[in-house]
């Protein structure tokens, strides 16, 4: 699949209201058994969709993925030691709970996996916060925390025991509500403050139109933009389309930017009487990029010689190990997509999200409550 970049004179701009900056902090963790060539335990942390920290059971080291994270560590002498100890303790927690889950599901050997996702989001203009705490087992939902109602939600009968235990556990629900509303947002604000030059930068995308064959949808593809918060849509005669379109995922590029796409059904695109435009909006930028749909602006696989510069379309995925039993049997084909799918990432609380007080060890112990 190839596409042609659209020259600047093919684009127009319109003025938009400022979009509020939404910042996010995600912690992802995966603990597994008997998956060949992969670490049994893996942690990653993302701020605004960009990976900042990583730990795995093979290297047994916590690594900063960006230079400004090292600056935080330089100002906090205990940073790396605290990270490492928290990761090692969490790794043991996962080993214990995989065995508990196998017993719950009447399983013995084979590939099994617990995934955890937790984190928070913060809107800097309003101060609004939200957060999440979710567990999966073998790729299926297991239990999650609904902090606004202070309830643990069991996704299947095997999780009822865990739900009942965690509901009765003194202070557990209160801690996770505090984590969502206070602890996690405070850590996120620290990361945003220290990484401001990187996280608050603005990079506009290259917006292009492509079509695989004359009968394929027309795809509007935007790549190389930052921050992640953006909007890409098709417009017909000045009105945004909600039918005859299909949204793609927003995916990370290797350089810390993002890409996304929106597809217009070919039947709609053939309406010669209508005026179609693809519109891209980026958070913090008042001007929108507008690309008009016409025959000259689309590149298909039937390449013309001469004028057109051709680029390869690359889709990239977050390195979150989300394999299931069935995925393991297809490692060289569809499994790689499932393992790396941005939709199946899951998580852990790395030690920066835990309170740095005299009760930090207590918070870690509460965090480590077993399933049974």
Could you give the angle at the alpha carbon of 38 between the alpha carbons of 35 and 43, nearest 5°?
A: 115
Given pLDDT bands bounded at 50, 70 and 90, which one contains residue 313?
Answer: very low
CA 246 vs. chain centroid, Å, equals 20
Residue in the block written with tokens 């506009």: 204
Sign of CA dihedral 99, 333, 339, 54: positive
Question: Which pair of structure tokens corresponds to residue 351?
Answer: 């030690």
What average pLDDT is seen over the chain? 78
Cis upstream peptide for 227 (omega within 30°): yes
pLDDT digits over 262-293, tens only? 999 877 666 666 789 999 999 889 999 999 99
pLDDT of residue 371: 74
Domain residue extents for the chain: 2-20+203-312, 22-197+319-367
Q: Do 12 and 290 form a contact (C-beta atoms < 8 A)?
A: yes
Other residues' Cβ atoms within 10 Å of the Cβ of residue 177 = 18
| Buried b or exposed e, range 215-254, using 16+ CB within 10 angstroms | ebbbbbbbbebbbbbbebbbbbeeeebeebbeebebbbee
Q: Do 349 and 363 form a contact (C-beta atoms < 8 A)?
A: no
Could you give the angle at the alpha carbon of 335 between the alpha carbons of 27 and 311, nearest 5°?
A: 85
The highest-level CATH class for domain 22-197+319-367 is alpha beta
pLDDT digits over 220-236, tens only? 999 999 988 899 999 99
CATH of domain 2-20+203-312: 2.60.40.10
Separation CA 291–CA 234 (nearest Å): 10
Q: Is the pLDDT of residue 36 over 50?
A: yes
Q: Is the pLDDT of residue 338 over 50?
A: no
pLDDT of residue 269: 62
Separation CA 77–CA 54 (nearest Å): 19
Question: Which pair of structure tokens corresponds to residue 30?
Answer: 């995966």
Q: Do 299 and 275 form a contact (C-beta atoms < 8 A)?
A: no
Bridge partners (DSSP) of residue 245 are 264
pLDDT of residue 318: 38
pLDDT digits over 167-221, tens only? 999 899 999 999 999 999 999 998 999 998 998 899 999 999 999 888 889 999 9
Listed in sequence order, the DSSP H helices in the chain are 67-75, 79-104, 160-168, 172-178, 184-194, 196-199, 266-269, 325-328, 334-340, 360-367
3-class state of residue 335 by DSSP: helix
3-class state of residue 290 by DSSP: strand
Question: Which pair of structure tokens corresponds to residue 17?
Answer: 């209201």
Bridge partners (DSSP) of residue 232 are 280
3-class state of residue 256 by DSSP: coil
Q: Is the pLDDT of residue 326 over 60?
A: no
Average pLDDT over residues 57-81: 88
Given pLDDT bands bounded at 50, 70 and 90, which one contains residue 372?
Answer: low
Given pLDDT bands bounded at 50, 70 and 90, which one contains residue 328?
Answer: very low
Q: Is the pLDDT of residue 37 over 60?
A: yes
Q: What percent of the chain is modeled with pLDDT above 90?
A: 50
Gyration radius of the chain over CA positions: 23
Given pLDDT bands bounded at 50, 70 and 90, which one contains residue 256?
Answer: confident
The DSSP string of 2-69 is EEEEPPGGGEEEEE-PPPPPEEEEEEEEEEEES-TTS-SEEEEEEETTEEEEEEETTT--EEESSHHH
> Which is it for strands 298-300 and 206-211: parallel, antiparallel or unpaired?
parallel
Sign of CA dihedral 292, 294, 297, 300: positive
Separation CA 108–CA 300 (nearest Å): 51
């Amino acid at each position: 699949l190839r596409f042609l970049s659209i020259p600047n004179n093919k684009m127009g701009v319109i003025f938009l209201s400022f979009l509020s900056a939404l910042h996010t902090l995600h912690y992802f963790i995966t603990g597994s058994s008997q998956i060949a060539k992969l670490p049994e335990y893996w942690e990653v942390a993302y701020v605004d969709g960009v990976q900042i920290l990583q730990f795995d059971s093979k290297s047994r080291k916590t690594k900063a993925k960006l230079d400004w994270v090292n600056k935080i560590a330089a100002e906090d002498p205990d940073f790396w030691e605290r990270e490492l100890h928290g990761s090692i303790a969490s790794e043991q927690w996962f080993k214990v709970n995989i065995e508990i889950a196998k017993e719950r599901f009447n399983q013995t050997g084979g590939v099994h996996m617990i995934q955890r996702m937790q984190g928070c989001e913060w809107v800097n203009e309003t101060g609004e916060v939200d957060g999440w705490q979710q567990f999966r087992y073998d790729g299926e939902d297991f239990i999650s925390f609904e902090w606004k109602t202070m309830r643990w939600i069991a996704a299947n009968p095997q999780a009822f025991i865990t739900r009942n235990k965690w509901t009765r556990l003194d202070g557990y629900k209160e801690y996770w509500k505090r984590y969502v509303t206070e602890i996690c947002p405070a850590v996120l604000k620290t990361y945003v403050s220290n990484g401001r030059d990187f996280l608050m930068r603005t990079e506009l995308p290259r917006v292009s139109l492509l079509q695989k064959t004359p009968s394929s949808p027309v795809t509007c593809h935007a790549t190389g933009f930052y921050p992640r918060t953006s909007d890409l849509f098709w417009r017909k005669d000045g009105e945004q389309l909600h039918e005859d379109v299909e949204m793609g995922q927003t995916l990370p590029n290797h350089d810390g930017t993002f890409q996304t796409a929106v597809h217009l059904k070919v039947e709609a695109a053939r309406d010669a009487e209508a005026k179609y435009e693809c519109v891209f909006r980026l958070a913090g930028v008042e001007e929108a990029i507008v690309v008009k749909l016409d025959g000259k602006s689309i590149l298909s696989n039937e390449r013309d010689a001469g004028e057109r510069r051709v680029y390869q379309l690359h889709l990239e995925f977050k390195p979150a190990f989300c394999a299931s039993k069935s995925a393991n049997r297809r490692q060289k084909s569809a499994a790689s997509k499932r393992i790396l799918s941005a939709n199946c990432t899951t998580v852990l609380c790395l030690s920066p999200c835990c309170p740095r007080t005299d009760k930090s060890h207590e918070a870690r112990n509460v965090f480590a409550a077993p399933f049974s």
